[in-house]
Structure 1
Amino acid sequence: MARTAPKVERLADEGEAMTDALAAVLSVAEEKGTVTWSDVSDDITSGEWGRLIESGLLVDADGEGFVVDDPEGVHEALEEADAAPAEDDDDGSWSTWDKLAGLATLGLFAGYSLTSVRDAIGGVIDIALGPLAETVPFYVVILVLAVFTGSTSSILQDQLMDMSGMGDHQEKMQDLKERREAAKERGDDEALDRLEEEQMELMTDQMGMFKQQFRPMVWIMLINIPIFLWLYWMVFGAGMSLEAPVVTFPILGDVGSWQEGAAGPLQAWILWYFLCSLSFTQIIRKALNVETTPTGS
């Protein structure tokens, strides 16, 4: 049923008429062994008949009519479709909290260009992180914060993004592409018109997917930007004694200060943060089994 269920789900997405048509065809096929258009022409439309053939659920029986591919799987998928509760029309819209987080994030961006905002944010965050900076070396502070931001980013992505839904959407787009090519080869203009309408619906769904992808980014930046601004405030505005060699980078060797360019214009503290963040984020995602790529059902 692995391949059957997604096909039935796609038909169900097109409306109850398609699942009713599939049920009618399945009933005749189970009774007679095969089914022809004349057997069901009074119950379904020619468009629905053609769509069932396009879906691959109805296959040619060597010129003796058609048979339902994997009838048991179709039965189970139809029962699941009937039992499934009606889903809310989720177009990826943001909640009030998401919008407030977005506005707060935009405000935090001002800290990158306005010294007064950066100093204010740095001073507030220093209440919590200052004791850590006084206890351990600064490179350890950056390491700890990189692990923290990597963990929160991974968890937020896992909780706020529906990777399986995105995978299903990609499968539908690929299936639509294959059906369009098949319809063009046989010159079926009616099917092409129907597929054009289906493509427009999928494009609307895709816009909702894009909005959903940006949703966790807002919350991630709401956490990461203040921490990043605090690091900037520490390096350039807190008067710390950071002139001694801070860390030995592979290939680059010792860097004279955190403000010094370690890789072109990329300063040492930024390079160290990104190295720690990229490394530990991958480990955290593996440990927590966080999915960051679309997966199908």
Structure 2
Amino acid sequence: MARIEEKVRSLVSADAEMRDVIETVLERAEDGEIAWIDVREDLTSGQWGRLIEQGILVDGENGFELADADATREALEDDGSDADAGSSVDFDDEDVEDSSWSIYDKAAALFTVGLFLGYSQKPIRDVIGGTMNIVLAPVESMLPFYAVVMLLALVTGLYSTLLQANLMDMDKMGKYQQRMKDIQERRKEAKEAGDDEALDAIQEEQMEAMGDQMGMFKEQFRPMVWIMFLTIPVFLWMYWGVGIGANADPVFQLEQLVLPIVGPKAWTDGVVGPIQAWIVWYFLCSMGFTQIIRKGLNISTTPSAS
């Protein structure tokens, strides 16, 4: 009976203790029947009432009986295998609370917002560009500028990958995604079975899960704050060196850049609409190096529910 399976899964998903309750009832039921006196030392009256209310227990000849013992047992087995994959039973409020940012994360986020002003404010761009140039000038003097951009793309790709791998809990993200997938599947099954009670319970669980989205968003955005914190100064140095922005002049002597397919272009020429050649070259290098780094270090930045 699909409806009994759905009701059992719904109860266990909403309250993990109900798994032990249902297992106890299955063990104590003799000839398919069970009475309150048989389980009152192990169950609360509220838990017993929920089983009757959901139709998992129905009237028998001398007490109550399981509406479908096989379906109930099968539902518990299915729910147990899903839990290992990160179902809603394993995902609790503590997972979301652990996603809170430290004071250093918040300070980095605040400083990053200030760095964004460098894109529009020349004085800020000049200060950051000049400061970065203390470190990068020796490199720029030894290599052509396109090679310097390649080197920067390699470095930014490396620390971006490492920050994502270390600051974002992929297991936690995978659990959350699996939980939402599980809810959607159970909702579909309940809808097809016409089980309004199960649909109401699943709807409540879905609303609770939606409340966890903020924690998951913070979990995803945390490494991005540190990546931007380190990368924006690099971009502002390139802005400063190439001469991007109002009243800006190139600091370096730049030869034409030869891009794949496009051919020779000045560094500030538009290549894809308003997107200039220098940033196209950086992103091409960055995407290529990042893929190589992830493969070489066997690092996955995609949440997995396996």
Query: TM range, normalised to the smaller chain?
Result: 0.7 to 0.9
Q: Which moved more, 1:273-282 or 1:178-187?
A: 178-187
State whether residues 10 and 172 of structure 1, in contact with CA within 8 Å, keep that contact through their aligned partners in structure 2: no
Q: Please say which of residues 216-225 and 162-171 is displaced more in the overlay.
A: 162-171
CA gap of 1:17–1:111, structure 2 versus 1, over 3 A, is same
Contact 2:96 2:212 in 1 (8 A): no
Q: State the partner residue of 1:241.
A: 253
- 2:286 is matched with which residue: 277, 281, 288? 277
- Confirm or deny: 8 A CA contact 1:147 1:277 kept in the other structure: yes
1: CA distance between counterparts of 2:9 and 2:234?
44
**Aligned residue in 2 for 1:153:** 160
The percent identity for this pair of structures is: 47
Q: Separation in 2 of the partners of 1:63 and 1:170? A: 31
Q: Deviations over 1:109-150 (max 9, x none)?
A: 000000000000001111111110011111110000001111
Equivalent position of 2:73 in the other structure: 68
CA deviations on 1:230-252 (whole Å, 9 max, x unpaired) are 0111111453211x32x322221
Counterpart check, 1:197 vs 2:200: no
Contact 2:10 2:198 in 1 (8 A): no
- Cα deviation for residue 18 of structure 1 reads 2.0
TM normalised by structure 1 equals 0.77
The alpha-carbon deviation at position 27 of structure 1 amounts to 3.6
Equivalent of 2:274 in 265, 274, 281: 265
Count the aligned residue pairs.
268
The one-letter code matched in structure 2 to 1:154 is: T
> Is 1:164 the counterpart of 2:166 in the alignment?
no
2:222 is the counterpart of 1:215: yes
Q: In the alignment, what sits opposite 1:39?
A: 34
Structure 1 residues 262 and 208: alpha-carbon distance in aligned structure 2, compared to 1, 3 A threshold: same
Contact 2:96 2:216 in 1 (8 A): no
1:24 equivalenced with 2:33 (yes/no): no
Q: How has the CA–CA distance of structure 1 residues 64 and 45 changed in structure 2, closer, same or farther, with 3 Å as cutoff? A: closer
TM superposition score normalised by structure 2: 0.75
Whole-Å Cα distance in 1 between the matches of residues 49 and 185 of structure 2?
Answer: 20
Shift of 1:16: 4.6
CA distance in 2, matches of 1:10, 1:224: 46
2: CA distance, partners of 1:235 / 1:144: 16
Q: Distance between the aligned counterparts of 1:52 and 1:124, measured in 2?
A: 70
CA distance in 1, matches of 2:187, 2:236: 51
Residues 124 and 265 (structure 1), Cα distance of their counterparts in 2 relative to 1, 3 Å cut: same
1:111 touches 1:118 (CA, 8 Å); kept in 2? yes
The structural deviation recorded for 1:89 is 5.4
SS at match of 2:271: strand
Of 120, 126, 135, 2:133 maps to 126
- Cα distance in structure 2, aligned partners of 1:63 and 1:12: 17
Residues 1:138 and 2:145 aligned together? yes
| Secondary structure of residue in 2 paired with 1:254 | strand
**1:184 to 1:230, Cα distance in 2 relative to 1, 3 A:** same
Contact 1:143 1:276 in 2 (8 A): yes
- Compute the displacement of 1:192 (Å): 2.3
Deviation at 1:254, TM superposition (A): 1.6
Q: Which amino acid aligns with 2:34?
A: D
SS in 1 for 2:132: helix
**Higher mean displacement: 16-25 or 215-224:** 16-25
SS at match of 1:145: helix
SS of the counterpart of 1:155?
helix
Contact 1:111 1:117 in 2 (8 A): yes
SS at match of 1:295: coil
Describe the superposition over 1:197-246 as per-residue Cα deviations: whole angstroms up to 9, x where unpaired: 2111111112211121111111110011000000111111453211x32x
Q: Could you say if the C-alpha distance between residues 74 and 40 of structure 1 is closer, same or farther in structure 2, counting changes exceeding 3 Å? A: farther
Give distance in 2, aligned partners of 1:10 and 1:296: 20
Q: How far apart, CA to CA, are the structure 2 residues paired with 1:171 and 1:276?
A: 34
Q: Which residue of 2 aligns with 1:179?
A: 186
